[in-house]
Structures are given as structure tokens and as C-alpha cells.
Amino acid sequence: MKSEWNKLDNAAKIFPAAQSKKDTQVFRFSCELYKTVNKDLLQKATEDTLEEFDIFKSILRRGLFWYYLEESDIKPIVREEYKIPCSLIYQRNNHKLLFEVTYYRNRINLEVFHVLTDGTGAMNFLKTLVSNYLTLAENVEDSGVDYDASSTQKSDDSFSKYYSGKISSKQENNPVAYKIVGRKYPDDKLKVINGMVDVKKVLEESHKYNATLTAFLSAVLIKSIIDEMPVRSKGKKPITILIPVNLRNFFPSVSARNFFCLTYIQYDIKKHGEDFETMVDVINTQLKSKLKAEKLLGTIDTYSAVEHNVITRIVPLVVKDFFLRIAYRMSGRAVTATFSNIGIVKMPENMNKFIKCFDVYISTDKLQLCSCSFDGKLTLGFTSQFISSDIEMRFFRELTSRGIDVELTSNIHDDERND
């Protein structure tokens, strides 16, 4: 019988061309339980979860003009964690599923190639997986996670749904941003530093500045970068934080595929100075201005226009890959660091007592911060390949100086971090 296939959504088209050993385009979503994970039950839970997410059964294929997702009957194999976070998943001549489930002690890990889904889709898969696992392991009633969608809806391409066909207004031209430099680990090792804080305290601090949590933490990140920046570099280029935006918050969608866009938040030291309150105000104002439905619709049209362009359609894939790779590298020049806020993770109330926390990490060749909250705890996960952790430590010290206690963990030793 002929396999079903799906074209890539518009956000996904760049990831096969952009991925490399230095930036794998893979993210890891994890759930830490209070008890040790049972491998056999996790295997059963993974198979059950896959039946609820048909799009996750896909492998990536190359066509003459486009990549596409092809349905596969490959069975996912749960393994004990065996490699560094966010390692390569997709390899051109090795057709396999675009996600992996691993475990280590009391932690369940889901790693996903970004071509398959975005942060919201991955978190919904992990929540369903954890719910299925706890139903088996703890014999608790499965009251269902807060994700009500049919299999067809989960596989929808929401970019196509909301594409208007209009020619969008001219997109903003983002200037070259300040670039963090320093020695990196050999073999493209990804360093992970995770901080856990009380989400209420962070929200209270944010509200002192009449700002959102995203704006406040973005300001803390920018301040940390400025504090560690060489004096000679200050004011020459803006510090630009790239923030992924979940379009489901603006346009109804329950798709498990990519449905996000990117917004650039810029801070010019020469223009605004180094006062923290000013940083928060500038960032908060930019976010309010950019996160409006009409502007985001224009972004959707821009993303989708490339696919609908007649000339682009007939260009061979090998040529598309070449130019997409260049475009991705050029766009990276406009970014200092990235901050992705996944938001609140909700699980069935009868399962909360078995779960300590959720956390998120994303591959990067720069500096990446990810956050999500569960049951009053906010996890702040930094990833980078830089040996120095000065910016990350400065970030967490800034929080503690404001009365926010931080519980730190990392995948590296102190001697490696400060080498």
C-alpha cells in the first residue's frame, strides 16, 4: 500500500538546509519525575502516544523540488540516555523517525527535529507521553491532558490555513547585531545550565515594571550580556534577542506541527543607556507593538509567499538548499541570543504529585535561553557551546540579587565551566 505523505509546513522548510553538527535544529523537552523511570512501561507509553500523533510517524524524504514527510511503520525504540542533549537526529541517507525518547534515572526526554514540530507541538506530545506513562506506572486514572484535537487536526498545516495570498508590507530590515564570542567546546558539545525558580516571585518582579514575564527575563538577559561585554564593544551594534512567537495564541489552531514566527527585540545601548528599568520598558514596548494579529498575519503571508511563488516551485531542491543555507547564515548575523518561553505546562491534577518539573533545551551555535513553568516552578534552561558561562551566571545572580532563589544544575563540571 502506498505511504501517506505531507509537504513541509512553511516554517519547517529551512531546517533541513540549516541543520549542521554545530546547530542540529533539535530540541529536548524533559519531564523529571519523583520516581525512577521503568523502561518497559515507557516503551509502551511511547507506542501508545505515537498512535495519537500520526505526524510523528513520519520520516523525511527528498523530492526533486521539495522535502516532504512520508508516513512510516518504524517503531520508536526507547533507550537510556546515550548522547549529549540535542544531538543530530536527521541524517540524509539514514531514514528514521524524527524524534527520540530516552530516559535517565527519573527523567523522561523527548528530542525532536524542528522540521516535524515546534515547541508547543513537542510539549503536547511529551505531556501525552507522561500522562500515558503515569497511567501505567502509577495506576492513576487518565483524565486526559488539555489537548483536545483529532488526528487530522494535529496534522494540519496552519500556515496554509491562514495564508491570505496578499502581498505583505515590507518586512523590517534587522541590523547586524552584537555577537557573543569566545572559545567553544570541541566536537560541538552543547553545554546545558538549568535554573529553577519560584514563578510567583519572577512574576512579582516583572509586575514592578508593568511588564510581562517574557519582557522582564529578556531584559535580565540583555543586562547580563551588557555586563559581560567588552567596553570597546558597547554601543557599536545593538543587542538583539530573537523570540519565537506561538501563533496559536493569536489564530485558532491545535496543530501538532510548526506554527510559529520569529520576532526580533533590539536594544541599542548608545541610544537607551544601561539603566535596567529602561531596558524593560523598551523591550515591553517592542513586544506590545510587534505581537498584534494584523502584523503577525503579514508574517504568515511572508513565510507562505515563497512556497506559492511560481519560480521558486520549479527550482530544484539542491539549489533551494544552497540559497536557504545562505539565507539562514545571513539572518543569524542579526541575532545576539534567543529566548523561547514555552509558557505554563498543565497536567491532569491527579498526576501533579508524581512530577517534579518540566524543562526545555534547544540546539544553538549562539546562546539560547528556554523557559517553561509547572506547578509554581519556572525552569530557565541555557544552552551554548561556549566554554565560558559568565553570561549565564550573571543572569542567575541578577535574579538572586532581586530575592529570587535559584536551584542550579548543569551537564558540565565547574572546572569545565570556568576554564
389 belongs to a structural domain: yes
Separation CA 241–CA 233 (nearest Å):
17
| In a shared domain, residues 334 and 393 | yes
Separation CA 149–CA 147 (nearest Å):
6
Tell me the C-alpha to C-alpha distance, in Å, between residue 22 and each of 87, 88, 96, 179, 366. Answer: 9, 9, 21, 16, 10
| In a shared domain, residues 268 and 379 | yes
pLDDT at 1: 43
Separation CA 95–CA 138 (nearest Å):
35
pLDDT at 145: 81
Q: What is the pLDDT of residues 129-180, one digit of tens each?
A: 999 999 999 999 887 787 778 878 888 889 989 988 776 656 678 999 999 9
232 belongs to a structural domain: yes
CB atoms within 10 A of CB 85: 23
Separation CA 338–CA 171 (nearest Å):
20
pLDDT at 418: 45
CB atoms within 10 A of CB 138: 14
pLDDT at 413: 66
pLDDT in tens, the chain (419 residues): 456 889 999 899 999 999 998 899 999 999 999 999 999 999 999 999 999 999 999 999 999 988 999 999 999 999 999 999 999 999 887 789 999 999 999 999 999 999 999 999 999 999 999 999 999 999 998 877 877 788 788 888 899 899 887 766 566 789 999 999 999 998 888 999 999 999 999 999 999 999 999 999 999 999 999 999 988 888 899 999 999 999 999 999 999 999 999 999 999 999 999 999 999 999 999 999 999 999 999 888 887 877 777 788 888 989 989 999 999 999 999 999 999 999 999 999 999 999 999 999 999 999 999 999 999 999 999 999 999 999 999 999 999 999 999 999 999 864 454 44
| In a shared domain, residues 190 and 130 | no
357 belongs to a structural domain: no
CATH of the domain at 209: 3.30.559.30
Q: Is 50 exposed, middle or buried (0-12, 13-18, 19+ CB in 10 A)?
A: buried
Q: Are strands 377-384 and 367-374 parallel, antiparallel or unpaired?
A: antiparallel
| In a shared domain, residues 227 and 375 | yes
pLDDT at 302: 82
| In a shared domain, residues 413 and 375 | yes
Q: Which of 162, 197, 212 is the last residue of a domain?
A: 162
CATH of the domain at 74: 3.30.559.10
Strand partners, 379: 196, 372
Q: Find the DSSP H helices in 83-211.
A: 119-137, 151-154, 158-162, 199-208
132 belongs to a structural domain: yes
pLDDT at 2: 52
Task: Tell me the residue range of the domain where 106 lies.
Answer: 5-162
| In a shared domain, residues 60 and 136 | yes
In the chain, the number of structural domains is 2
| In a shared domain, residues 303 and 236 | yes
| In a shared domain, residues 256 and 387 | yes
Nearest to 345 by CA among 334, 333, 360, 330: 360
| In a shared domain, residues 85 and 138 | yes
Tell me the C-alpha to C-alpha distance, in Å, between residue 38 and each of 106, 133, 136, 137, 358. Answer: 9, 9, 10, 8, 18
353 belongs to a structural domain: no
| In a shared domain, residues 201 and 308 | yes
Strand partners, 322: none
| In a shared domain, residues 258 and 391 | yes
174 belongs to a structural domain: no
CB atoms within 10 A of CB 135: 18
Q: What is the pLDDT of residues 71-100, one digit of tens each?
A: 999 999 999 999 999 999 998 877 899 999
| In a shared domain, residues 149 and 193 | no
Separation CA 87–CA 116 (nearest Å):
16
pLDDT at 417: 45
91 belongs to a structural domain: yes
pLDDT at 169: 58
169 belongs to a structural domain: no
